Structure 1
Amino acid sequence: MPAVNSQPRRARSGNRRDEAARVAVLHAADDLLVEHGFGALTVEAIARRAGVAKQTIYRWWPSKVEILLDTLIEDTAKRLPVPTELPTASGIRAYLRDFADFLAADPAGKCLLTLLAEAQHDPGTAASFHERYLEPRRIAEIEMLTRATEAGEVSPVLGPEATMDALLGPIVYCALTGVAVPRDLVDTLAENILRPRA
């Protein structure tokens, strides 16, 4: 009579993602985007670089845009977090400088700019980008600004949403047009728009 296995049978993982494979896919997508651009980025190429089956990627992500969004969300959470402690004028200024550096030099900054551009002519990308990345981040940035205003650290000349647009817009425009952010731009924006406490 065969021996009875007393160990409980492990449930099948089904569509659960293998973490190492997931991270490999995100890194591959990021690297290929920087190397070849969005137009040449394909799921096939990502699968090859990550060492996973193409079917595995399609089981986890419906498109390359969603892969890039996951990459962007994770990378900005690690490398460009919105400050959550009591914000100061200097803290907001530092966040703006970090944002400019992120767009200019970080591979995830390239991912952000690519998705911004793609969203201009693809409604599906625009909707997903807005829901998953732009809106949550904007809420966090406006909360940062509101707390700084309530604490008397800054006295913005505009409402919270318009203030964030006025602060971030010139930085994004420089990055989209390939122009280096002028050294004194962030300081000028902070002084004239935030009006920090003397």
Structure 2
Amino acid sequence: MPDNREARAAARTDMIMRTTLALAQETGYAKLSIEAVAARAGVGKHTIYRRWPSKGLLFLDSLLSLNEPALDYPDTGDVMADLRRQIYAAVDLLTGPQWGPLYQALVGEAQHDPAVAAGLGERFIRPQTDKTVARLRAAQEQGQVAPGFDLDLAMSILSGPLYFRFLISQEPLTRDYVDRVLDALFAGMGPRGPADAPASA
């Protein structure tokens, strides 16, 4: 069993991270500060700095540790249905009032903080990318995706339009839009039958 010091340290860490998210939701990430977190949590700011050397890393750890998204892929044998179900879940999460604004702020912070960018990539973006490519690879082996199609490129084509709406254009990220993106993707990477082969000269 962990000793009392370890239990107290774990409880303090949890309290600091929860306080960080609560303040970020109240004031927005731009106005969040380690000093404010320390004051609300009732700890010294040096206690926070010993574990998290920057506001961005504190926010990253708080958001991803306390809001671990369950975005695993089903495998029903129908890759389109499985992609649709998983992406619907991601869209619902990213457009929700609790996660969406915080995740937007985290991605924004990653643009000018290499440590935050690395952490976000390692803990969220890369795992989700790997799951998507693995599901596409299984579909390719089953003949649902054209053999030889670049699956990393497929992942980029699939995620790019979603992130563009979420982060750049601020247009609604809807299930209908997800369906249109999937239809466009599979129009290009679906299996090719003899009728699709180019005519001989």
Scaled by the length of structure 1, the TM-score of the pair is: 0.75
State the number of aligned residues.
Answer: 186
Q: Is the 8 A contact 2:29 2:105 kept in 1?
A: yes
What is the CA–CA distance in structure 1 between the aligned matches of 2:8 and 2:57, rounded to whole Å?
15
Q: Is 1:105 aligned to 2:96, yes or no?
A: yes
Deviation at 1:139, TM superposition (A): 2.2
Q: Is the 8 A contact 1:142 1:160 kept in 2?
A: yes
Q: Which consecutive unaligned segments of at least 5 residues does structure 2 have?
A: 192-201
Deviation at 1:96, TM superposition (A): 1.0
Deviations 1:108-143 (CA, angstroms, capped at 9, x unpaired): 333322222222233343333334433333223322
Q: How large is the Cα RMSD of the aligned pairs?
A: 3.1
What is the CA–CA distance in structure 1 between the aligned matches of 2:151 and 2:107, rounded to whole Å?
22
Q: Secondary structure at the match of 1:46?
A: helix
What is the CA–CA distance in structure 1 between the aligned matches of 2:31 and 2:147, rounded to whole Å?
43
Q: Is 1:30 aligned to 2:21, yes or no?
A: yes
Q: 1:91 aligns with which of 74, 82, 86?
A: 82
What is the match of residue 170 of structure 2?
Answer: 178
Q: 1:191 aligns with which of 176, 179, 183?
A: 183
What is the match of residue 141 of structure 1?
Answer: 132
- Kindly indicate whether structure 1 or structure 2 has the higher relative contact order, using CA contacts under 8 Å at least 6 residues apart: 1
Q: 1:182 to 1:84 in 2, by over 3 A?
A: closer
- Higher relative helix content: 2
Alignment of 1:46-195 (within 5 A): 46-75=37-66, 77=68, 79-83=69-73, 88-155=79-146, 159-176=150-167, 177-194=169-186
Q: Is the 8 A contact 1:75 1:108 kept in 2?
A: no
Deviation at 1:153, TM superposition (A): 4.4
Deviation at 1:12, TM superposition (A): 8.1
Deviation at 1:40, TM superposition (A): 0.8
The one-letter amino acid paired with 1:159 is D
Q: Is the 8 A contact 1:174 1:180 kept in 2?
A: yes
What is the CA–CA distance in structure 1 between the aligned matches of 2:155 and 2:181, rounded to whole Å?
11
Bigger Cα displacement from structure 2, 59-68 vs 16-25 = 16-25
Q: 1:156 to 1:170 in 2, by over 3 A?
A: farther
Q: Is 1:42 aligned to 2:36, yes or no?
A: no
Structure 1: 4+ residue segments shifted above 6 A: none
Deviations 1:6-40 (CA, angstroms, capped at 9, x unpaired): xxxx97847x8723222222222222223222221
Bigger Cα displacement from structure 2, 136-145 vs 166-175 = 136-145
Bigger Cα displacement from structure 2, 134-143 vs 61-70 = 134-143
